[in-house]
Amino acid sequence: MPKIMSGRKNSSNVNAPVTIFVVDDEPILLDLALTILQPLGYHVQTFRDPKAALKAFPAGKPSVVVTDYAMGGMTGMDLLREFRRVNPRQKIILLSGTVDEQIYADDKNKPDRFLAKPYQIRDFVASVQTLLKA
């Protein structure tokens, strides 16, 4: 089992906690992400609407974006492409209970990690922490 470490600090501001955006249209899954990540010291911003996440993106400067795939009018892959258009190096975790990794197999834009729902909490935390170290 991976070691769970507390939230690292942003390199640009030593006192600021790492910001993580979580985008999912299911409120209970947003609450779960908060419950998992906030006690580890991360600053978590949640969004039910992917367009709201896009609007907050430039100012929010998240270290990691966690997004669901199926979200009504915009998919997680659509969101990924938009984030990467603004910041080509943005770290992104794609979550899905409806598709698998084949959804982006032929796409030039791929998430850094993929987790199938339901995911194990330790796998979720390990994915976030691995991307923060990269």
Which residues fall within 8 angstroms of residue 19, CB to CB, at 6 or more apart? 10, 42, 43, 44, 45, 60, 61, 62, 63
> How many Å apart are CA 59 and CA 6, to the nearest integer?
24
Element at 79 (helix H, strand E): helix 76-86
> How many Å apart are CA 97 and CA 63, to the nearest integer?
24
| Mean pLDDT of all residues belonging to the chain | 89
Higher pLDDT, 117 or 14: 117
Q: What local confidence, expressed as pLDDT, does residue 14 receive?
A: 54
CATH fourth-level superfamily of 19-100+109-133:
Response regulator (3.40.50.2300)
Record the tokens describing residue 97, joined without a space. 């209970």
pLDDT tier at 6 (50, 70, 90 boundaries)? very low
pLDDT in tens, 33-89: 999 999 999 999 999 999 999 999 988 899 999 999 999 889 999 999 999 999 999
Look at the block and give the residue holding tokens 């993106």. Answer: 57
> How many Å apart are CA 9 and CA 68, to the nearest integer?
25
Is a pLDDT exceeding 80 seen at residue 113?
yes
What are the Cα distances from residue 54, in Å, to 6, 40, 60, 64, 80?
Answer: 27, 25, 10, 13, 10
Is a pLDDT exceeding 80 seen at residue 7?
no
Q: Where are the domains of the chain?
A: 19-100+109-133
